[in-house]
């Protein structure tokens, strides 16, 4: 065993012991986090405006600080950009992470010295937890690839601005730098297709043991390698042992990945965002991810079916229940206060607290009151893949309301197959049955002849990538929306239909 591997094993044991301390005292861990961030927030403009000096506990906080989205946070961000100090957090943030998706264009999420430290620590601990639980440490001596955005950062009034993955590239530990690929120069390439070609050139002859990135973009990298070498990834990289991913549910991609690789490879799922690093996979018996309760983030949860009410009840960690779909609200050591993250989660375990991401609070299909969420369509796709042996590259779902006279409306699934099922009608039937089994509202609408069963539109191979390129969102942290309540994406995809 190398010195690096021995050091990793010892550090993994120490981190496990430290993690157990807050895992076994979750409510106390959240109380400490709350007290720490409120104390810091008292000296800010936001704290003064919201009476932080009078906050003695959570009830004081929830009565003074409303739940807000980015649009409500934006005026504070603009004040920081204009040079003001102590607005949301003492001093100024180190970075603004630039993301997309709001009605007013790009979002700029503050990242402070304290919050980036927790982001880096959580990434490290996810890998160390894997080492501790599995005993596998050999991969630390091989090459590791991180498919991420450009590390080139802009600057405005002394604050650096860039994508989260590009910011994170500046914090790769020194002991991993010699193992890390691609090169800095290649990472700086903005055009994703050019970048993937260069990554392939740099890595194809290396001893790759770890690959990290969003599944759909790692898939593109694997396909390029296989196209050149005409052999499975497991032959190109015989020592590949670990795939680290986040941002999307891996399960619909798993069969395609295993086909590309040629064998099973261990994986670690992460739940990071520009707003914070929330959870990672700490065990492999079920899909739940360990919620990080002592990482500078105070959590609140609002049942998703009440979220849009005027004054929905906000729950703390000790009040949540299993199986309920919650909108996740956070207050952080980056100066986000009562911030609606936009993600919805369900708890799979309360001892310890583990979650799965079920979708986005604004991304659902409820054109007829069915309120279908991402988790349900992803599970339906998994079932159809499992029963048919098909392999799917990408898919999305939208309602179709404008039908011919006398025809019932329906959900339309746009699916790009790597390997189409032998019986497409049965594949479609499994999708529909699974969705009915999971969602009683959808079942009632089908039974009541309000909706007809779903229809499937096949997308040509590479069609989703062509669409993402057409809108300037190919690669990086960009993802295809899993479902929509409108037809904007659906209508655009017809250009790539078979």
Q: Which CATH number fits the domain that encloses residue 238?
A: 3.40.50
Same-domain check for residues 268 and 130: yes
Tally Cβ neighbours within 10 Å of residue 398: 23
Query: Burial of 44 by CB count in 10 Å (0-12 exposed, 13-18 middle, 19+ buried)?
Result: buried
SS3 of 50-62: CCHHHCCCHHHHH
What is the spatial distance between Cα 16 and Cα 26, in angstroms, rounded to a whole number? Answer: 15
- In this structure, the dihedral spanned by the alpha carbons of residues 433, 435, 439 and 440, taken in order and rounded to 10 degrees, is -20
Q: Write out the residue range of the structural domain in which residue 142 sits.
A: 116-272
Statement to judge: residues 138 and 260 lie in one domain? yes
In a domain, 193, yes or no: yes
Q: Residue 251: in which H helix or E strand, if any?
A: helix 251-261
Is residue 240 a contact partner of residue 265, using CB atoms and an 8 Å limit?
A: yes
Domain count, the chain: 2
**Tokens found for residue 482:** 């899993």
**What is the CB neighbour count within 10 angstroms for residue 200?**
18
Question: Mind listing the pLDDT tens digit of every residue in the chain (498 residues)?
Answer: 788 888 889 999 999 999 999 999 999 999 999 999 999 999 999 999 999 999 999 999 999 999 999 999 999 999 999 999 999 999 999 999 988 654 446 889 999 999 999 999 999 999 999 999 999 998 988 999 887 778 889 998 889 999 888 898 888 777 667 788 888 899 888 888 888 899 999 999 999 999 998 887 888 899 899 999 999 999 999 999 999 998 777 877 888 888 899 999 999 999 999 999 999 999 988 889 999 999 999 999 999 889 888 889 999 999 999 989 999 999 999 999 999 998 899 999 999 999 998 887 777 787 887 878 888 999 999 999 999 999 999 999 999 988 888 899 999 999 999 999 999 999 999 999 999 999 888 998 899 888 999 999 999 999 999 999 898 887 766 788 888 888 999 999 999 999
The answer to the question of residue 233 being in a domain is yes
Q: What is the largest CA-CA distance in the chain?
A: 72
- What is the per-residue pLDDT for 477? 67
Helix (H), strand (E) at residue 290: strand 289-291
Cβ proximity of 147 and 218 under 8 Å = yes
Q: At what angle do helices 424-438 and 440-447 cross, to 10 degrees?
A: 120
Residue 482 lies in a domain: yes
Angle made by CA atoms 457, 458, 459, in degrees to the nearest 5? 120
Which residues does 124 contact at the CB level (< 8 Å), separation at least 6?
15, 173
**Measured distance CA(174)–CA(72) in Å, rounded:** 39
Instruction: Tell me the CATH number at 413.
Output: 3.30.300
Asked which of 227, 256, 272 is the last residue of a domain, the reply is: 272
Cα–chain-centroid distance for residue 204?
28
Structure tokens belonging to residue 381:
């796709």
Cα–Cα distance measured from residue 242 to residue 136, given in angstroms and rounded to the nearest whole number? 10
* Residue given tokens 């530990």 in the structure block: 173
For residue 55, the tally of other CB atoms under 10 A from its CB is: 22
At 170 the pLDDT is: 87
133 within a domain of the structure (yes/no) = yes
464 found inside a domain: yes
Q: Are residues 122 and 255 in the same domain?
A: yes
Does 266 share its domain with 380?
A: no
The string of DSSP codes covering 189-224 is: --SHHHHHHHHHHHHTTS-EEEEES-HHHHHHHHHH
* Sign for the pseudo-dihedral over CA of 55, 56, 58, 63: negative
Residue 373: the pLDDT is: 84
Asked if residue 265 and residue 122 are part of one domain, the reply reads yes
Instruction: Report CA-CA distances (Å) from 161 to 27, 91, 114, 482.
Output: 35, 17, 17, 28
Provide the 10 A C-beta neighbour count for residue 272.
Answer: 20
**How buried is residue 241: exposed, middle or buried, by Cβ count under 10 Å (0-12/13-18/19+)?**
middle
**Domain contains 46:** no
**CA-to-CA distance for 227 and 246, rounded, in angstroms?**
25
User: Cβ(465)–Cβ(474) under 8 Å?
Assistant: yes
Question: Hey, is 461 helix, strand or coil?
Answer: coil
Q: Which of 339, 278, 336, 338 is nearest to 40 (CA)?
A: 336
**pLDDT at res. 104:** 47
Whether residue 146 is contained in a domain is answered as: yes
Which of 253, 272, 291 is the last residue in one of the domains? Answer: 272
Q: State pTM to two decimals.
A: 0.84
Q: Does residue 70 belong to any structural domain of this protein?
A: no
Closest C-alpha among 251, 121, 267, 220 to residue 476: 220
At 80 the pLDDT is 96
390 and 250, same domain (yes or no): no
C-alpha count within 13 angstroms, C-beta hemisphere, residue 348: 16
Q: Which of 272, 306, 329 is the last residue of a domain?
A: 272
At residue 467, the 3 state secondary structure works out as helix
């Amino acid at each position: 065993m190398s010195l690096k591997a021995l050091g990793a094993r010892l550090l993994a044991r120490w981190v496990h012991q430290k993690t157990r301390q807050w895992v076994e005292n979750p409510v106390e861990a959240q109380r400490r986090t709350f007290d720490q961030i409120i104390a810091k927030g008292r000296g800010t403009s936001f704290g003064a405006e919201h009476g932080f000096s009078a906050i003695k506990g959570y009830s004081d906080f929830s009565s003074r600080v409303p739940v807000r989205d980015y649009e409500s946070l934006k005026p504070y961000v603009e004040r920081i950009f204009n040079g003001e100090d102590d607005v949301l957090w003492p001093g100024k943030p180190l970075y603004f992470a630039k993301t997309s998706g709001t009605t007013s264009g790009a979002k700029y999420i503050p990242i402070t010295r304290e919050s980036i430290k927790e982001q880096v620590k959580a990434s490290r601990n996810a890998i160390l937890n894997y080492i501790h639980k599995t005993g596998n440490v050999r991969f630390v001596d091989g090459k590791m690839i991180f498919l991420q955005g450009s590390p080139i950062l802009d600057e405005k009034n002394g604050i650096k601005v860039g994508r989260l993955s590009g910011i994170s590239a500046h914090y790769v530990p020194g002991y991993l730098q010699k193992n890390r690929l691609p090169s800095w120069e290649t990472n700086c390439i903005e055009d994703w297709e050019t970048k993937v070609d260069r990554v392939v050139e740099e890595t194809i002859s290396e001893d790759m043991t770890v690959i990290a990135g969003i599944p759909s973009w790692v898939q593109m990298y694997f396909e390029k390698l296989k196209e050149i070498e005409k052999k499975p990834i497991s032959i190109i990289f015989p020592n590949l042992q670990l795939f680290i991913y986040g941002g999307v549910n891996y399960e619909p991609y798993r069969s395609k990945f295993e086909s590309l690789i040629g064998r099973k490879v261990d994986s670690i799922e992460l739940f990071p965002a520009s707003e914070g690093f929330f959870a990672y996979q700490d065990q492999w018996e079920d899909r739940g991810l360990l919620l990080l309760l002592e990482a500078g983030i105070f959590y609140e949860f609002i049942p998703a079916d009440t979220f849009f009410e005027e004054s929905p009840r906000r729950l703390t960690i000790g009040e949540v229940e299993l199986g309920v779909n919650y909108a996740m609200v956070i207050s952080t050591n980056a100066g986000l206060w009562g911030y609606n993250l936009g993600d919805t989660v369900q708890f799979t375990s309360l001892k310890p607290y583990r979650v799965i991401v079920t979708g986005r609070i604004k991304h659902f299909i409820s054109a007829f009151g069915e309120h279908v969420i991402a988790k349900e369509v992803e599970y339906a796709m998994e079932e159809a893949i499992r029963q048919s042996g098909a392999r799917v590259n990408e898919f999305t779902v939208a309602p179709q309301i404008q039908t011919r006279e006398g025809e019932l409306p329906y959900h339309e699934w746009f699916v790009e197959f790597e390997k189409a099922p032998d019986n497409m009608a049965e594949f479609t039937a499994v999708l529909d049955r699974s969705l009915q089994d999971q969602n009683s509202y959808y079942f009632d609408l089908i039974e009541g002849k309000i909706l007809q069963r779903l229809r499937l539109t096949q997308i040509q191979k590479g069609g989703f990538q062509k669409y993402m390129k057409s809108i300037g969102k190919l690669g990086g942290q960009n993802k295809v929306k899993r479902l929509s309540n409108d037809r904007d994406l659906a209508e655009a995809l017809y250009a790539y239909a078979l």
